[in-house]
Amino acid sequence: MNTKRIKIGVGFATGRRHFQKVLKTYIYNWHEECGLAQNESMEIHPIVAYDLRFANAKKTDFTNIQNELRDLVGDIYFADAEFIKKETDEMIRRGILSEKEVHLLFGSGYAGKRNAVLYTALKKGMDYLLFLDDDEYPIAVTNTRSTAVWGGQHVLKTHLEYIKDADITNGYHCGYISPIPQIAFNDTLKKEDFKQFIEALSNDIIRWDTIHSLMKNGGVTYADPGIITADRAQEVPETNCTKFISGSNLCIRLTGQKQIYPFYNPPGARGEDTFLSTCLTGSKVLRVPCYTFHDGFSTYKHLMDGVLPIKLKPILPDSGKVIDRFYNCCVGWVRYKPLLLYITQREDYGRRITEMRSALGETLPKVSKYFGKDDFVKIRKELDRYDANVRKHYDQFQKTKEVWERVLEDLRCEA
């Protein structure tokens, strides 16, 4: 009697030229450490959506994968522009989508790339889809001793243990998650000023208390040994009709689920995981005990070669790279917060935006002077722009879900 093999997609929305090194690390993790790749009851299929503009990469940086790696997994699928165009042209021809709706679902930005991966996983008949980022590795680091202590993580294996009883599972992150550097407060930027600035941009995930604690560790998030050794998952609580998840170390059950939602972000913003979070009121979402190490500044790529530093460097605002990353994240936060407030706290929206505008007006000149970057003062204009367009972005978000449901129905008819 033939038993149906479980098909697992592992999705990467990538643009970094060291992607193949990351993929190699994960494939060997699945094969050598977890024994999953040899399991005859399942198939593992990497699904790659790549952006050639992110780091001026070439197509071969993502597609020229060594045969010895291909032999260790199932078919590798590329959810690239060519594949998506072929699929959507056919849907346009049959009247499923319009050209404008194609751009809404699969346009530029992280949401479009994640939707391309999600669509490909559904098209290829995957049972589960695990999203991983190209700057995170299957390793955890703790600071329980005088030096950093490292340990490998069974990321995919852990998700598979729990996803059967959930709609979504989400792991933990350690390493350089936060873009906020360690700050030596002074007369130019006092602690109270920076607290006011962060609270203006914050949401239920980005909060001053957690940010302040993190800054004391030099911006490094260490894994909790109690979570690493736990053999249980915890249900993600709901706040303001939202179950907050991250977009990576994230597994979605694709079969037997009432509803599978698309990703969305306002044009030029991030937050695609946050807006997915606002759709999950009726879903069972579990936080599962596995970590990935987030290498947000691409400083520790040699971790994948077995180089384990005994100390992790603090994030200091002493380089243009660090300051630019912090600035870009602040822009991303302020661009998506109006829509988040509109969705989750609409009755209080006007007051909250007024408070944001006032706080930024007071603190941005100080933040700009401290970091020596005049662009920070432009963040106030970004708030004004995205506040003015919040209804338009909300309508786009609703339309994205409506269009996505049409695509899902078309896929069901094909099955």
For residue 1, what pLDDT is reported? 44
Q: Write down the mean pLDDT value for the chain.
A: 92
For residue 16, what pLDDT is reported? 86
Please give the share of the chain, as a percent, with pLDDT higher than 90.
Answer: 75
Pull the structure tokens for residue 197: 């600035």
Is residue 84 pLDDT above 50, yes or no?
yes
Q: State the pLDDT confidence band at 179, using cuts at 50, 70 and 90.
A: confident
Q: What's this model's pTM, rounded to 2 decimal places?
A: 0.95
Longest dimension (CA), the chain: 75
Is residue 79 pLDDT above 70, yes or no?
yes
215 close to 273: Cβ distance less than 8 angstroms: no
288 close to 162: Cβ distance less than 8 angstroms: yes
